[in-house]
Chains A and B, each alone.
Chain A
Amino acid sequence: MNSARLSFDLVVVGAGPGGLAAASVAAERGGSVALLDNSPWLGGQIWRGEQARPAVPRARQWIERFLASGARAVMQASVFASPDRGVLLAETPAGRLTVRFKQLILATGARELFLPFPGWTLPGVVGPGGLEAMVKAGWPVAGRRVVVAGSGPLLVAVADGLRRYGARIPLIAEQAPQVRLARFATGLWRYPEKLSQAVAMKARLLGIPYRAGIWPRRAEGRERVERVVLTDGKRSWTVECDLLACGWNLVPNTELPRLLGCALAGGFVRVDEFQRSSVAGVFCVGELTAIAGGDAALVQGQIAGLSAAGAAGAARELFAERWRWHRFGAALTRAFALRPELRALAGRETVVCRCEDVSREAVERCRDAREAKLHSRCGMGPCQGRICGAATQFLFGWESDSIRPPVFPVRVESLLTASEHSKPVSNLSDPTP
């Protein structure tokens, strides 16, 4: 196995808006900076594909700024462990990479939240973000009927994108009640960029029914999804579809900060005004600290990058703008809060943990996530509890179980940490377990 070593003053993990901004502003002020990301392209999830085919002006602007900043991009590097202070291990197609850092900025973003309901494991039931990524990568949806359901602003954005690739969208089903969304929309005047985006999108969406206050009760089909049963809490009806894109907003990817020991509060990494976590030299930005979107991440990334580069004054100048986006994030969170009825969607036999095929009934008997893992295998599989852990947090209020390396499944040989010429193995003893 190949094993390479790199060393930088500042390492940034995650090449979405927050990571790009952090790496760019820090590198512009000197010092060696590296940006690591597990994908081949800059942009992260939200600006996926922008490096290859720019469409969003601001994405292009930040990608160009990053490329001119002097920071080094280390792509297709999945950070999976931190064996010692100041050291990260990453797996790359070429082998294992050891990266040393003096300071670290984590911008690992968020993933979709999936909640179990009858039929959610049928082929053809997918996450909206995941579907969008597949479609951008060339997976054909032209002419297919895609019901988009769940919650959050992502639903509209995805439906809009899918339509441009020729999909038919019979319905967008948003669980949040209309009254809450209306309150959110009237608050958008504070955020002119968001408002113009929303208006533009809504215009394109003319003709697509967008309904608030409804959600899927179950997906049905023989081999794969053929229809979805929707409800408004009073009555239920059926909509035929070829795909059901269902996601319930976002959950932060806190695995790496937790592995490093960063303290959390309410499921997010706790940071101070300079985006510093509880661990010295480790900053966190973007969705790790609150679900507030790409604009918040851009400002937070700049603040963290400037702070790391010792430019506290310049960082401070951005506090007011960050505060604006934090308010936006808080409004977003209130508007799209999940309704309690969703906790009752999964029946006793509905699978909660897909990797290990564990039903709600088996999980529900347990007192917490750790007990569920020990006694039902919930969360023991290759997704490492990413899907079921977030679901059981919502369903039962369980905190996530302790985190262990590797943060992503990696080749066993990638776990080797010593150099290839380290001391020989000796002192063998009793080999029993």
Chain B
Amino acid sequence: MSAAPDIVIVGAGIVGAACARECARAGLRVLVLDRGPIGGGTTAAGMGHIVVMDDSPAQFALTACSRRLWQELAPELPAAVEYDPCGTLWVAADEQEMAEVHRKAAFYRERGVRVEVLEGDDVAAAEPALRPGMAGGLRVVDDAVVYPPAAAQHLLESQENTRRIEVRPGVTVAAVNEDGGVTLADGTRVRAGLAVNAAGPWSPLLAPGLPVRKRKGHLVITDRHPGFVHHQIVELGYLKSAHAVTADSVAFNIQPRKTGQMLIGSSRQFGAEGTEINSDILDRMLRRAFEYLPGLGRLSAIRAWAGHRAATPDKLPLIGPSLVSDRIWLATGHEGLGITTSLVTGRLLADHVLGRAPAIPVEPYLPARLGKGATLHA
């Protein structure tokens, strides 16, 4: 790239990649910097579930819009991305959870999201590996699964975008500047019209005081056992306890990969900086999964690992101008929904840069919502 780029993006994860793609499609020249390889941080550590969620209206709007963008993108995705519209099956263990299935079903139907309510026998037929006696479940038909590092790579390197996107992996950024450029670790200054901080859990390093915290998660992947489960299966049981934002927690969540491998989650921990395996958490996570899938323990496990999500206090991402400078954008804090909501994040950035009407109302995601102190840049 000879001249200065229009936009410099820090972070070649799925969010940075989606931002780069949307800007390139809009005709802008984009430089993407990452201290590691493409999709090597949180994008490599997570599951790759594309899922509509309804914890809040704002979360629903973001996830539903972004899932639609994934559906539009699906035909162009290469096989390596492993896009699989396997759907999500939310399983209800008892009648209390079944009531939640009906509530959720009504909410989704009213908003045009395809769902099927399954009774106990239907759940058993759909997923014979589940323990007998489930009360029922909710199948969200158009939810899907991708392999995130390959998805990030495709967003950055697909034919139509390569002319306008330059990716420089292995380059560490030391500072994001108020003039829209960045300073590299070696002191080099890169000039650009707008800088985007898409560094996920590491975004506060470039924006001290940013209310983004690392939230650690563990996963286990098995050898190929095709057909062990057919949907991404998630428990509804979490509703029985308050949404913990402080305590360590585990929940049953399993994803069938296109390869036939099973990806087993999930756990959440604050205050755990390293990516080493916490054996107590891993233990609790697996026991929870075995409660739902009694045969899971006999599958062959290949790897266990841990990574970090970028969590915000109100469980919504930070998408929009920083309070420090309108030439610094934030695209971070996507917590466990970064793969799903990456595409809409990129779309909202491009809408802003080009002065288009935003795809969805942006107010719930603006960094300013968390107060001035929260986005102050030292």
Q: Is A417 within 8 A of B299, CB to CB? A: no
Interface residues of B in 269-304 (CB under 8 A from A): 277, 279-280, 282-284, 286-288, 290-291, 296-304
Q: Is B234 within 8 A of A429, CB to CB? A: no
Binding stretch for chain B, among A162-170, A205-213, A239-247, A366-374: A366-374
Among B39, B240, B302, B305, the residue within 8 A (CB) of A381 is B302
Q: Is A418 within 8 A of B283, CB to CB? A: yes
How distant is the Cα of A425 from the Cα of B288 in the complex, in angstroms?
Answer: 7
What residues on A are CB-neighbors of B170 within 8 Å? Answer: 367
Q: Is A422 within 8 A of B283, CB to CB? A: yes
Report if A429-B268 is in contact (Cβ < 8 Å); known contacts: A374-B149, A382-B302, A412-B299: yes
Q: Is A431 within 8 A of B266, CB to CB? A: yes
How distant is the Cα of A430 from the Cα of B288 in the complex, in angstroms?
Answer: 14
The answer to the question of A279 belonging to the interface, with a C-beta cut-off of 8 Å to chain B, is: no
The answer to the question of B105 belonging to the interface, with a C-beta cut-off of 8 Å to chain A, is: no
Q: Is A431 within 8 A of B150, CB to CB? A: no
How distant is the Cα of A427 from the Cα of B315 in the complex, in angstroms?
Answer: 17
Q: Is A404 within 8 A of B304, CB to CB? A: yes
The answer to the question of A133 belonging to the interface, with a C-beta cut-off of 8 Å to chain B, is: no
What residues on A are CB-neighbors of B244 within 8 Å? Answer: 427-429
What residues on B are CB-neighbors of A382 within 8 Å? Answer: 223, 300, 302
How distant is the Cα of A422 from the Cα of B280 in the complex, in angstroms?
Answer: 9
Among B249, B296, B303, the residue within 8 A (CB) of A404 is B303
Report if A412-B266 is in contact (Cβ < 8 Å); known contacts: A428-B250, A429-B241, A431-B234: no
The answer to the question of A201 belonging to the interface, with a C-beta cut-off of 8 Å to chain B, is: no
How distant is the Cα of A374 from the Cα of B151 in the complex, in angstroms?
Answer: 11
The answer to the question of B231 belonging to the interface, with a C-beta cut-off of 8 Å to chain A, is: no
The answer to the question of B366 belonging to the interface, with a C-beta cut-off of 8 Å to chain A, is: no
Q: Is B301 within 8 A of A415, CB to CB? A: yes
What residues on B are CB-neighbors of A380 within 8 Å? Answer: 302
What residues on B are CB-neighbors of A371 within 8 Å? Answer: 37-38, 40, 169
What residues on B are CB-neighbors of A406 within 8 Å? Answer: 301-304
Q: Which residue of B lies closest to A376 (CB)?
A: B80
What residues on B are CB-neighbors of A414 within 8 Å? Answer: 301
Interface residues of B in 31-71 (CB under 8 A from A): 36-40, 44, 46-49, 51, 53, 55
Q: Is B282 within 8 A of A415, CB to CB? A: yes
Report if A374-B238 is in contact (Cβ < 8 Å); known contacts: A409-B302, A411-B301: no
Q: Is A433 within 8 A of B304, CB to CB? A: no
Q: Is B251 within 8 A of A429, CB to CB? A: yes
Q: Is B38 within 8 A of A375, CB to CB? A: yes
Q: How far is the CB of B223 from chain A (nearest CB, A)?
A: 5
Q: How far is the CB of B224 from chain A (nearest CB, A)?
A: 8
Q: Is B302 within 8 A of A427, CB to CB? A: no
The answer to the question of B247 belonging to the interface, with a C-beta cut-off of 8 Å to chain A, is: yes
How distant is the Cα of A137 from the Cα of B44 in the complex, in angstroms?
Answer: 42
The answer to the question of A426 belonging to the interface, with a C-beta cut-off of 8 Å to chain B, is: yes
A-B contact count (CB 8 A): 162
The answer to the question of B336 belonging to the interface, with a C-beta cut-off of 8 Å to chain A, is: yes
Interface of B, secondary structure class, is mixed
Q: Which residue of A lies closest to B45 (CB)?
A: A433
Q: Is A432 within 8 A of B253, CB to CB? A: yes
Q: Is A430 within 8 A of B40, CB to CB? A: no
Interface residues of B in 317-363 (CB under 8 A from A): 335-337, 339
Among B40, B80, B268, the residue within 8 A (CB) of A370 is B40
How distant is the Cα of A380 from the Cα of B296 in the complex, in angstroms?
Answer: 20
How distant is the Cα of A384 from the Cα of B297 in the complex, in angstroms?
Answer: 20
Q: Is A432 within 8 A of B51, CB to CB? A: yes
How distant is the Cα of A112 from the Cα of B367 in the complex, in angstroms?
Answer: 55
The answer to the question of B222 belonging to the interface, with a C-beta cut-off of 8 Å to chain A, is: yes
How distant is the Cα of A410 from the Cα of B337 in the complex, in angstroms?
Answer: 30
Q: How far is the CB of B88 from chain A (nearest CB, A)?
A: 10
Of listed B51, B169, B300, B302, residue having the most chain A CB within 10 A: B302
Among A1, A83, A368, A376, the residue within 8 A (CB) of B297 is A1
Q: Is A375 within 8 A of B51, CB to CB? A: no
Q: How far is the CB of A275 from chain B (nearest CB, A)?
A: 26
Q: Is A430 within 8 A of B238, CB to CB? A: yes
How distant is the Cα of A41 from the Cα of B296 in the complex, in angstroms?
Answer: 31
Q: Is A427 within 8 A of B301, CB to CB? A: no
The answer to the question of A55 belonging to the interface, with a C-beta cut-off of 8 Å to chain B, is: no
Interface residues of A in 256-272 (CB under 8 A from B): none
Interface residues of B in 164-222 (CB under 8 A from A): 169-170, 217, 220, 222
How distant is the Cα of A277 from the Cα of B301 in the complex, in angstroms?
Answer: 29
Q: Which residue of B lies closest to A418 (CB)?
A: B283
Q: How far is the CB of A154 from chain B (nearest CB, A)?
A: 29
Among A370, A384, A415, A428, the residue within 8 A (CB) of B37 is A370
The answer to the question of A416 belonging to the interface, with a C-beta cut-off of 8 Å to chain B, is: yes
The answer to the question of A413 belonging to the interface, with a C-beta cut-off of 8 Å to chain B, is: yes
What residues on B are CB-neighbors of A411 within 8 Å? Answer: 297-301
What residues on A are CB-neighbors of B283 within 8 Å? Answer: 415-418, 422
How distant is the Cα of A375 from the Cα of B248 in the complex, in angstroms?
Answer: 32
What residues on A are CB-neighbors of B290 within 8 Å? Answer: 413
Report if A431-B287 is in contact (Cβ < 8 Å); known contacts: A411-B301, A412-B300, A415-B282: no
How distant is the Cα of A74 from the Cα of B88 in the complex, in angstroms?
Answer: 45
The answer to the question of B252 belonging to the interface, with a C-beta cut-off of 8 Å to chain A, is: yes
Q: Is B255 within 8 A of A433, CB to CB? A: yes
The answer to the question of A341 belonging to the interface, with a C-beta cut-off of 8 Å to chain B, is: no
The answer to the question of A405 belonging to the interface, with a C-beta cut-off of 8 Å to chain B, is: yes
Q: Is B280 within 8 A of A409, CB to CB? A: no
Report if A425-B250 is in contact (Cβ < 8 Å); known contacts: A410-B301, A432-B51: yes
The answer to the question of A317 belonging to the interface, with a C-beta cut-off of 8 Å to chain B, is: no
The answer to the question of B264 belonging to the interface, with a C-beta cut-off of 8 Å to chain A, is: yes
What residues on A are CB-neighbors of B249 within 8 Å? Answer: 427-430
What residues on B are CB-neighbors of A223 within 8 Å? Answer: none
Q: Is A417 within 8 A of B279, CB to CB? A: yes
Q: Is A83 within 8 A of B279, CB to CB? A: yes
What residues on B are CB-neighbors of A415 within 8 Å? Answer: 220, 282-283, 286, 301, 304
How distant is the Cα of A374 from the Cα of B169 in the complex, in angstroms?
Answer: 14
Q: Is B240 within 8 A of A428, CB to CB? A: yes
Of listed A412, A417, A422, residue having the most chain B CB within 10 A: A412
Among B40, B51, B252, B286, the residue within 8 A (CB) of A416 is B286
Q: Is B169 within 8 A of A375, CB to CB? A: no
Task: Jot down 27 A-B pairs with beta carbons below 8 A, ordered by A.
Answer: A1-B297, A367-B170, A368-B37, A370-B37, A371-B40, A374-B38, A374-B44, A382-B302, A409-B300, A412-B220, A412-B297, A415-B220, A415-B304, A416-B286, A417-B279, A422-B283, A427-B248, A428-B235, A428-B238, A429-B241, A430-B251, A431-B234, A431-B238, A432-B253, A433-B47, A433-B265, A433-B266
Q: Which residues of A contact B (CB under 8 A)?
A: 1, 83-84, 366-368, 370-371, 374-376, 380-382, 384, 404-406, 409-418, 422, 425-433
Known: A427-B241, A433-B255. 12 other contacts (CB 8 A): A368-B37, A374-B38, A375-B38, A384-B302, A409-B301, A411-B297, A425-B250, A427-B247, A431-B235, A431-B252, A431-B253, A433-B265
8 closest Cβ pairs, A-B complex:
A413-B297, A431-B251, A433-B47, A83-B279, A429-B249, A432-B336, A417-B279, A371-B37
